[in-house]
Chains A and B, each alone.
Chain A
């Protein structure tokens, strides 16, 4: 708790300092020869410093790579693409400032950015007011559909629900008892609410669900792991669904390994642990623990092999991992390019109209489509941690899963849909036939 207070206290200073630096950099950039006349600008809004830099830096690199590639193909509408990279420094209010700057000052055609839900929520009003386009690449809690935002990451029904289905299946171990462990903020809380409702609809009793939250940056998981161990000895097969965020996963997994909880006893399926997070861990004790994603680096599809080769060449580092949000940017970028070609213009209104229904190849060999609710169709994979820190896909959904903006399992959102094609509404109530939430 104190951490938060301190974090808040330090932010204004950090932002000022960084804003000054960034402003200087931008000023310099502006002073460069004005060759920017015939380029299309693409904004990259990912934190390059602060706590989220660990995850977001990679996404900035991937957008730069995609832009470079598109330029090699001759650009877009006969113009070259130009990246405008800003650093919101893991500071939520600064995200909004930077977004405004990108749209009004740099006049970018589209923005690729944000990681945490709170950063997305903070830029939302800006994109609505200025009619910008945001491609958001990270799995999130759902319950949102905005005209100006395209959600290329997974909605809960594209990650959490299939993962639970897998654990309930014979191959997954027929789990009967559930621990929902998460970091205390909006994504885990909403996801766990949906999962709880879903589990209950499948006949799981209250006493067979344990929900546990930890503060941000929690490093001491001894008690929680011991509790999980204890919960798992009630004579029913137990599984853990972890929405523990980013960095806190390392101490959590270390403690699991140390206390000898093996995946054969209590499997842990995580929604925020990818190849990148495992890179900081000795994965041998984690063998068999699970992750649910729409993409794994180990996917054998030729298009993925090709992508990884390009990524390694671009970063000049043959060890750089790839992960799910990167794939989301690849899909989102390709969709935007297609939509701009279709519309013949980068005008946001035209692109928004053109993009629904656009189909582009994803990196697992299939085709993803942009839906009317601004979410996309994706395959869902369950991977098991291998000894080399990669994942072995042990299960996948039979086909592509369309993203649900509003969860069917929550009473307050079960009648809502997002439809930006016909209804022009993000929260259309199918029962009252009215636009506007209020179930």
Chain B
């Protein structure tokens, strides 16, 4: 009987303690939240730690809100609120919506040190999230923070995890924590290294290179071996990466030059205003996006696609106007054409500057063009990938147009032998105007793509005009295939030179190489043969 009584009493005490603990927990959570109202970085840091440790169910929501800048505080009432995704204001402690929130709410400010603390805390808190993607992100956050406190949670998460890719990430995170823990045994640390080695990216090198000072020598040695092996595989990847960057730069060059390959390459007009056609295309994209933002924000994802035909139309029609208004009077007088089109380029720039202002315009990227993904250790950004695809599509389209349509046939006929073409009944003047419009329109399309990676400012075109001429001359005047090959050769050569020579010297080296090449082969990579050339 006494034993039973004793047991009951023990139970009651335990229960009481539990209650007290729960109360203390709630209290410490509320107290921790108050830390956010001080508007001082160190108080906020303490509050993040305290909230993360409180074990409260709301902790993850509060920290996530803090990360997104949705955690608000009332400096007078010392209370913390969360702005929900639908703009409702809720009390941070309870998650209940409040009707009359104070008017002077201010967001809790963060700096980079706090943002790191937030990421680490969130990592520890969302290891057991429903969504495997969030668990993966949490594991990555722990990998970065190497926070010892996360180890128990990490191990139980590891035991429960079913998704193999998340499991790998968790194991890597665990290895990272163990390697940075002073309490872990040498054997544990040695066992952790293979997981990091298998990860094999630059973060792994960073982790292994930055082991704490008291690491046992055997572990340091194993880490150095792992670094050496990771580095050698990273070398190979960096060559692949350079090739990729070269392709990407080449595609930009191709886009910028391909319109010029028509106006300069095929028609022989030295068009200094070519860059401005590109710029007009980029501004068309800007206008399209503004209109979409104003009238139908839902279409924003398609804005770039919608801009392509419009940019072609705008730049193309201006091109036709230029040809009809100026250039047709100057055929056969290259110097005057050069001066006239260059003056025109200044006029167009200043016109755009007057109409849109001298500052850069913000052209947004649709979501399918932002971000990046990894292939092995190669980081591929979506916008570059799309630009490569787009430039090749434009190239194929243009090739098809020249090869298989009546207009293409007439254009080739006119450029090869004008009097003969005219006597066959082709209206050469009309073909000239259309061909110039086509080249300009394609420059406009290029502008749509370039608006995604460069400034949209009145000077946009200037940056590309010389590169475009370089590509066309190098590739061989009058040959689209030459332009394609020239663009990619220059892009890749540039990107392989850049890591060794630097961007400035690399560019100089490329120019010298082209000059030497032109000495050897004055007509470029693909020389056109035939009567037109000799004439």
Contacts and interface: CB of A to CB of B under 8 A. Distances in A.
A235 B210 CA distance: 4
Contact of A6 (B364, B381, B466): B466
B370 A258 contact: yes
Contact of A250 (B238, B360, B383, B499): B360
A222 B245 contact: yes
B56 interface: no
- The interface centre, meaning the residue of B111, B343, B465, B502 with most chain A CB atoms within 10 A of its CB, is B111
Interface stretch (A49-57, A371-379, A415-423): A49-57
B504 A213 contact: yes
B205 interface: yes
Interface stretch (B314-322, B413-421, B453-461): B453-461
Nearest to B117: A264
Interface string A215-255: 10111101110110110111110000000000100110011
Nearest to A54: B358
A3 interface: yes
A233 B203 contact: yes
A258 B358 contact: no
A113 B112 CA distance: 36
A288 interface: yes
A20 interface: no
Contact of B346 (A14, A173, A219, A224): A14
A217 B339 CA distance: 23
Contacts of B531: none
A121 B456 CA distance: 30
A2 interface: yes
B390 interface: no
A234 B241 contact: no
A387 B498 contact: no
B383 A57 contact: no
B462 interface: yes
A277 B382 CA distance: 24
B361 interface: yes
Interface stretch (A145-153, A279-287, A346-354): A279-287
B453 A219 contact: yes
Interface in B416-475: 453-459, 462-463, 465-466, 470
Given A172-B112, A282-B362, A288-B115, A54 B504 contact: no
B69 interface: yes
Nearest to B383: A258
Contacts of A236: 210
A250 B119 contact: no
A316 interface: no
B523 interface: no
A311 B503 CA distance: 40
A394 B359 contact: no
- The interface centre, meaning the residue of A172, A233, A384 with most chain B CB atoms within 10 A of its CB, is A233
B467 to A, nearest CB: 8
Interface string A52-76: 0110010000000000000000000
B342 A1 contact: no
A61 B465 CA distance: 32
Contacts of A35: none
B209 A220 contact: no
Contact of B249 (A172, A222, A224): A222
B167 interface: no
29 contacts: A1-B507, A3-B466, A6-B465, A10-B342, A13-B343, A53-B353, A53-B358, A54-B358, A171-B113, A173-B116, A215-B503, A217-B462, A220-B252, A222-B245, A223-B242, A223-B499, A226-B245, A226-B379, A233-B203, A233-B209, A234-B210, A247-B459, A251-B455, A254-B453, A258-B384, A265-B144, A267-B112, A288-B111, A394-B109
Given A235-B211, A258-B383, 4 more contacts: A222-B495, A223-B495, A226-B241, A260-B379
The 4 closest A-B pairs by CB, nearest first: A280-B360, A235-B210, A235-B209, A233-B206
Interface of B: 41, 69, 109-113, 115-116, 119, 144, 202-203, 205-211, 238, 241-242, 245, 248-249, 252, 339, 342-343, 346, 350, 353, 358-362, 364-365, 370-372, 379, 381-384, 453-459, 462-463, 465-466, 470, 495, 498-499, 502-504, 507-508, 511
Interface of A: 1-3, 6, 10, 13-14, 17, 49, 51, 53-54, 57, 170-173, 184, 212-215, 217-220, 222-224, 226-227, 229-230, 232-236, 247, 250-251, 254-255, 257-260, 263-265, 267, 276-277, 279-282, 288, 384, 387, 392, 394
